[in-house]
Amino acid sequence: MTHIYLVRHGPTHAKSMIGWSDLPADLSDTDALARLDAYLPNDAVVISSDLSRTIATADAIQKDRPRLDHDANLREMYFGDWELKTYTEVEDQEHIRAFWDNPGDVRPPNGESWNDVCGRVNTAIDRLILTHAGQNIILVAHFGVIITQIQRALSLTGYEAFGHKIDNLSVTDIRIEESWQVGKINHVS
């Protein structure tokens, strides 16, 4: 059985759509990081996206665990022209409502659709599972990345998947054997 522990990076405190913008994580809550580290298996490999907020979070919990190369395909959704804007700052409100209400093929201008993100992340996860079959994997990632795998494991629509809350420094665990099984979602130690 392969067991993936999806960890959301530390908070950025941004109140806008943060996709590929490389904002740092606030990792000042050392008690929360210690609890997270204690919860995760010691025999897991650790991987993150190539954005600094996930790299720094992975560094904070890595300890003696082997580290894999950062993977750009595990980045958050790219919001294109909406990047770093709040919902209300987007001029085309009909477009942004369609994007969030019907996650699928609707794209932000010059950005990714939900289906694009799922395809990119699923390919990266499949490669990780194949390479590390039967192992524990700690994947430090982003809200969208974690939601793609919840959607996949539970056969949800994008809209249903977005209904899940994923806190910073939380863990969502998925086990893959013959089928995908979800353990805890949004577990905060």
Asked if residue 187 belongs to a domain, the reply is: no
Q: What is the pLDDT of residues 129-140, one digit of tens each?
A: 999 999 999 999
Cα of 74 vs its chain's centroid, Å: 7
> Considering its fold, how many domains does the chain have in total?
1
Residue 118, SS3 per DSSP: helix
Token reading at 123? 């390919």
- Rounded Cα distance, 59 and 21, in Å: 19
pLDDT above 90: residue 189: no
Q: Identify whether 83 is part of a domain.
A: yes
Beta strands in 17-155 (DSSP E): 45-48, 136-141
Average pLDDT over residues 60-73: 97
Residue at 188 is within a domain:
no
The answer to whether position 76 is within a domain reads yes
Is residue 56 in some structural domain? yes
Asked whether the whole model's pTM tops 0.85, one would answer yes
- Strands ordered across the beta sheet of 180-182: 45-48, 136-141, 2-8, 171-176, 180-182
Residue 142 lies in a domain: yes
Q: How far apart are CA 87 and CA 16, in angstroms?
A: 7
**In-domain check, residue 189:** no
Q: State the CATH number of the domain containing residue 26.
A: 3.40.50.1240
Confidence band, pLDDT 50/70/90 cuts, at residue 161: very high
Domain of residue 123, residue span: 2-182
Is residue 173 in some structural domain? yes
